[in-house]
Amino acid sequence: MPVVTSSLSEDQQKKLLSLLGHVRIHLLYKASVHGFTALAFHNRCDIQGPTVIVAYNDGGFVFGAYTSQDYTQSGAKVSDEEAFLYSISAGGSKPLRVAGINRQCAFTDEATGPNYGALVFLHENAAKIISNPGENFTFQAAEMHGEDLALTEFEVYRVEGLGDLLAKPWRNICWTAERRQQLMKDIQSYNPEIKTVQQARVLLVGPVGAGKSTFFNSVNSVFRGNMTSQAIAGTAGKSVTTQFRTYTIKAGKGGGLVPLILCDTMGLEENAEAGLNIEDLVNIFRGHIKDRYQLNPFTPLQMDSPGFKKQATLNDVIHCVVYVVDTCKVSLLTQKMLDKFADIRKKTNNLGIPQILLMTKVDEACPLVAEDLKNVYCSVYIQRKARELSEFFGIPLSCVLPVKSYSDELELDQDIDILLLTAVQQMLNYTDSFFENQVIEDQEVVDHQELYRSNDLTRPVLSGQAKHV
């Protein structure tokens, strides 16, 4: 007997699975093989649990319906809050998903073809559908099926859940005391690529309440060996941080400086008149804003203002930008906020500054991670949110790093430390990328840095022996 295979292309299957979540699909019924009849459909699809219908037409549309309920030919109207209709159009970037109308049934469980009201499949035991938008589901016919009601193929798949944890982590992390010590050693012994620069300077940027200040306090706590609260952190609706701050980190109380400066600033807000001003952000990138300058959302810092540093060296500029986003609020990011991030990304790219994104509060976002932080790279939910952020920000998934900061703990935790230190190590790696783009012909003779000003094109320039790439 020949093997029955799916007609879904790889791209169509990927888009379909994006609607269904962490599942796999198993082909139950293919009309071109088993027949375009209601009897053939029910013989293979009744009492199969969650299923998804996949219909094809000559217009290049792949569309259908998902239900979490069984087909049983009971004659009853079946309610299913999880049911939806969908469409994947030829050339479309995202699939269409249509939820049911509130308080209306999902489908009528008859001995006919699948009857979802708005879409009735295998009408009159033939390769066609009836389209009734507004009955149980509302959609535009042109978007759903291109108004082509003849079917070239019709399939039904059983939808099988794969659980909430991946069988294999999507990143490998070593959760040992030895790994923690190695990370601490590597970070403390870091030497910038350019000898005249003493410390990597990293800027944290994110919405109000994302956890920028808390992240610094947590990293500082790891190196101090006890809980610290140097940066002001809180849960107010407005940004708790109102100044531009540069924080150094010491290895132990009274110890030597870690070669990293974490810079914190006012949180981003949707409205142009609130939160961190983008013009101030560019001045921070270029090293023109002094530590402790009081930021004003309404008026960006001017060149003749006391807080403006007219002469800035490579030690003053930002070497790596880190976006900080609350994992619990990924789905709440508005288009205005995403547009603001896109504007920042464009300006950051123009200056040649590498960028990383931190997903904070992963334990609050996923109960499995709250139960055991080692589940962070096995969590289906965290992986999905990381991919969403990668797509939203237009940055590679490899630049998206989940972290948990210290919030209610009184003692340091090895697993939390490893995630935090791994993020810091990546920041230093990306800082090296920034320095490698500064061409120095003979660094041994460079004993000072030429000062650069805000009207320079992109990057700070070193002395006469240095130039742009």
Burial label for 304, CB within 10 Å (0-12, 13-18, 19+), is: exposed
Decide which of 3.40.50.300, 3.40.50.720, 3.40.630.30, 3.40.50.150 is the CATH code for 177-462: 3.40.50.300
d(CA 178, CA 275): 41
Structure confidence at residue 452 (pLDDT) = 40
DSSP 315: T
pLDDT per residue as tens digits for the range 269-303 = 776 666 677 888 888 898 888 887 777 666 767 77
Region for residue 452 given its phi and psi (left: phi exceeds 0; alpha: psi -120 to 50; beta: otherwise): beta
Helices (DSSP H) in 168-272: which residue ranges?
177-188, 212-224
DSSP 197: -
Per DSSP (E only), the strands in 21-145 are 23-30, 51-56, 62-67, 77-78, 84-88, 96-99, 107-108, 119-121, 129-131
Every domain of the chain with CATH number 3.40.50.300 lies at 177-462
Structure confidence at residue 125 (pLDDT) = 96
d(CA 26, CA 84): 19
d(CA 469, CA 462): 12
**CA distances to 38, 40, 221, 416 from 125, in Å:** 6, 10, 69, 60
Structure confidence at residue 464 (pLDDT) = 35
DSSP string, 431-463: HHHHHHTSEES-GGG--S---B-TTSSSS---S
Residues 6 or more apart whose CB falls under 8 angstroms from that of 449 comprise 196, 313, 314, 315, 460, 462, 463
Structure confidence at residue 273 (pLDDT) = 65
**Token code pair at residue 8:** 């879904």
Residues 6 or more apart whose CB falls under 8 angstroms from that of 91 comprise 60
Residue 40 near residue 34 (C-beta atoms within 8 A): yes
Neighbours of 71 (CB within 10 A): 20
Per-residue pLDDT of the chain (469 residues; tens, 9 = 90+): 456 899 999 999 999 999 998 888 999 999 999 999 999 999 999 999 999 999 999 999 999 999 999 999 999 999 999 999 999 998 777 899 999 999 899 999 999 999 999 999 999 999 999 999 999 999 999 999 999 999 999 999 999 987 788 889 999 999 999 999 999 999 999 999 888 899 999 999 998 889 998 999 999 999 999 998 887 665 544 555 578 889 999 998 888 999 999 998 888 877 666 667 788 888 889 888 888 777 766 676 777 777 777 888 899 999 999 999 999 888 778 888 898 899 999 999 999 999 999 999 999 989 899 999 999 999 998 998 999 999 999 999 999 999 999 988 999 999 999 999 999 999 999 999 999 887 553 344 344 444 443 334 333 433 333 333 3
Cα 337 vs. chain centroid, distance in angstroms?
14
Helix (H) or strand (E) holding 33: helix 31-34
d(CA 366, CA 399): 21
Sign of CA dihedral 192, 198, 203, 209: positive
Please state the pTM of the whole predicted model: 0.67
d(CA 289, CA 287): 6
Structure confidence at residue 349 (pLDDT) = 94
Structure confidence at residue 232 (pLDDT) = 64
